[in-house]
Amino acid sequence: SLTAGIVGLPNVGKSTLFNAITQAGAEAANYPFATIDPNVGIVEVPDERLNKLTELVKPKKTVPTAFEFTDIAGIVKGASKGEGLGNQFLSHIRQVDAICQVVRCFVDENITHVSGKVDPIDDIEIINLELILADLETVNKRFQRVEKLARQKDKEAVIEHDILVTLKEGLESERPVRALEFTDEQWKIVKGLHLLTSKPTLYVANVSEDEVADPDSNENVQKVRDYAAKENAEVIVVCAKIEEEISELDPEEKDMFLDDLGITESGLDKLIKASYSLLGLATYFTAGEQEVRAWTFRKGIKAPQAAGIIHTDFERGFIRAETVSYSDLVDAGSMGHAREKGKVRLEGKEYIVQDGDVIHFRFNV
Ligand code: GDP
C-alpha cells in the first residue's frame, strides 16, 4: 500500500508527531494484514460520510479505511555525499510515495535548534538541497547512458535527452523536480526515473500550543506558506505536542478538547486527509446490515479492480457493480428510496470508480 514518509531536521517535532500517529493508531483487529514495522504508523482516515452512512444503514459494525505513515529518521545534512546513515536516509525516502516535511515554526529557547535559530526556510532548504543533489547525481548518471544513444538518433533516447536537459538545468538552479514544467507525456518518463524531488510533498508547520487557533499570527508559518506556494505544495499546520495529547483521548473528550482550543479539526486529521489526497487516493463504501465500511482505492481504477481490493475472488468473478453516489443515497434517505428514484446504477467492467461511490458488487464464485 502507499505510504507517506515523515522527514525533518532534528528537534523539529517529528518524533512527537509520529508518537501521536501511533497512539491514535488504527484498531489492529480491523487491519490484520498491516505491517508491524515500528517505523510505520497506521491511522484511520477520518471521514464524516462514514458516520452519516452508519446513521442511515444502522449496521452491526463500522470500519474506517486506514493509511500508513513512515517515520524516516536519520541525519540529513551531507546525506547526498552518500555516507552511512545519510545513504540510508535517502534510500528510505526512495521507498515512500509522498513526503511530509515537518518544519519547526515554534520558538522555544529550551529546545536547541540545529542551526542555532528557528528559520523554517533555511530548514526546508537544507533538506531539499540534499534531495536535489541526490537527484542530480541520478540524472547525470542517466545522462551518460542516454547521450550516446541520442547522438545515434535513437528516437526514445532523443526524447529522454531533452527531458534530462530540463531536469539538469532545474536541479542545478536548486529547484525540485515537482516544481518543473513538463507535458503529461514527459511526466511519465520523469516518473520512471524515481527522483526524490518528484515525489508529491507537503509541509507540516509545527507551531506552539498557543498558536494553533490562529496559526497565521506566527510569521514563520507565513514564510512556509509563501515558500510552498512557489512549488505548488500544500501546508498543514499542527502543534505536535497537542496532537500527542489528543491521541490519548477518546472521541468525545477529543471534541471537547478541540472546542477549548478553538479549532474544529485536529492537525493530525488534517494531515491524514491531505496526505491521502496527495497520493491520489479516494474512498468508496460498502454498506450492508452487517457492516458499513470504507475502502481506499487509487483514483482512475475500474470497477473490477476496486472489487479486488475487498477480495481477489470479487475481481475474478466480477459481474457488475450496483452503484449509488454518496450524495444521492443521503438525499434519498435509504437504499430502497434511492433505487425507486433510479439513482442506483448497474455499472460494468469499464466503469471508473468515483470517490464516495457506495457499491454492492455482484460476482460469480
Ligand atoms: P525530532 O528530533 O524532530 O523527532 O523532535 P522531537 O519530537 O523529539 O521534539 C524535540 C523537542 O521539541 C521535544 O522536547 C518536544 O517536546 C518539543 N516539541 C515538539 N513539538 C512541539 C510543539 O509543538 N511545541 C513545543 N513547545 N515543543 C515541541
- Please tell me the distance between residue 104's alpha carbon and the centre of ligand 1 in angstroms: 9
**H-helix or E-strand containing 44?**
strand 40-44
Quickly tell me which residue has 514518509 as its cell.
Answer: 5
Under a CB-based contact definition with an 8 Å cutoff, are residues 332 and 101 in contact? Answer: no
What percentage of residues in the chain have a pLDDT greater than 90? 75
pLDDT of residue 77: 67
Helix (H, G, I), strand (E, B) or coil at 40: strand
Reported as half-sphere exposure (CB side, CA atoms, 13 A), residue 329 has a value of 23
Q: Which residues line ligand 1 (CB under 6 A)?
A: 8, 10-16, 106, 108, 111, 206, 208, 239-241
Shortest-distance Cα residue to atom 26 of ligand 1: 208
Torsion of CA 11, 14, 20, 25, to 10 degrees: -150
pLDDT of residue 136: 96
> C-alpha distances in angstroms, 51 versus 22, 238, 362?
23, 25, 25
Bind-site residues for ATP: 11-16
**H-helix or E-strand containing 296?**
strand 291-298
Cα–Cα distance measured from residue 26 to residue 229, given in angstroms and rounded to the nearest whole number: 32
Whole-structure pTM value: 0.90
Domains and CATH numbers, the chain: 3-46+63-112+200-278 (3.40.50.300), 126-197 (1.10.150.300), 300-363 (3.10.20.30)
**CA diameter of the chain:** 69
* 42 residue type, one letter: I
Q: Residue 285: which pLDDT band, with cuts at 50, 70 and 90?
A: very high
Under a CB-based contact definition with an 8 Å cutoff, are residues 103 and 207 in contact? Answer: no
- Please tell me the distance between residue 234's alpha carbon and the centre of ligand 1 in angstroms: 22
For residue 210, what is its C-alpha cell? 498557543
pLDDT of residue 110: 81
Helix (H, G, I), strand (E, B) or coil at 120: helix
Cα–Cα distance measured from residue 191 to residue 195, given in angstroms and rounded to the nearest whole number: 7
Residue 346, Cβ density class (10 Å: 0-12 exposed, 13-18 middle, ≥19 buried) = exposed
pLDDT of residue 75: 63
* pLDDT, tens only, 220-240: 999 999 999 988 799 999 999
* 191 residue type, one letter: K
DSSP 239: -
- Please tell me the distance between residue 13's alpha carbon and the centre of ligand 1 in angstroms: 4
Give phi and psi for 126, each to the nearest 5.
-60, -50
Alpha helices, DSSP H, located in the chain: 14-24, 48-57, 84-95, 120-151, 155-172, 184-192, 219-230, 240-246, 251-261, 267-278, 303-310, 312-316, 326-332, 335-340
Give the end-to-end CA distance of the chain in Å, rounded to a whole number.
26
Residues, the chain: 365
- Please tell me the distance between residue 196's alpha carbon and the centre of ligand 1 in angstroms: 26
Bind-site residues: 11-16
More confident residue, 115 or 59: 59
Reported as half-sphere exposure (CB side, CA atoms, 13 A), residue 178 has a value of 20
Shortest-distance Cα residue to atom 15 of ligand 1: 13
Lowest-pLDDT range of 23-37, 226-240, 307-321, 324-338: 23-37
**H-helix or E-strand containing 61?**
strand 61-63
Cα–Cα distance measured from residue 267 to residue 197, given in angstroms and rounded to the nearest whole number: 25
pLDDT of residue 286: 97
- What ipTM, to 2 d.p.? 0.94
Q: Residue 22: which pLDDT band, with cuts at 50, 70 and 90?
A: confident
Site to probe by mutation for ligand 1, drawn from 218, 221, 241, 247 as the one with most ligand atoms within 8 Å of Cβ, is: 241
* 21 residue type, one letter: I
Q: Residue 97: which pLDDT band, with cuts at 50, 70 and 90?
A: very high
CB atoms within 10 A of CB 35: 13
Q: What are the residues whose beta carbons fall under 8 Å from the beta carbon of 50, sequence distance 6 or more?
A: 62, 64, 285, 292, 294
* Nearest-atom index, ligand 1, CA of 102: 3
Cα–Cα distance measured from residue 88 to residue 100, given in angstroms and rounded to the nearest whole number: 18
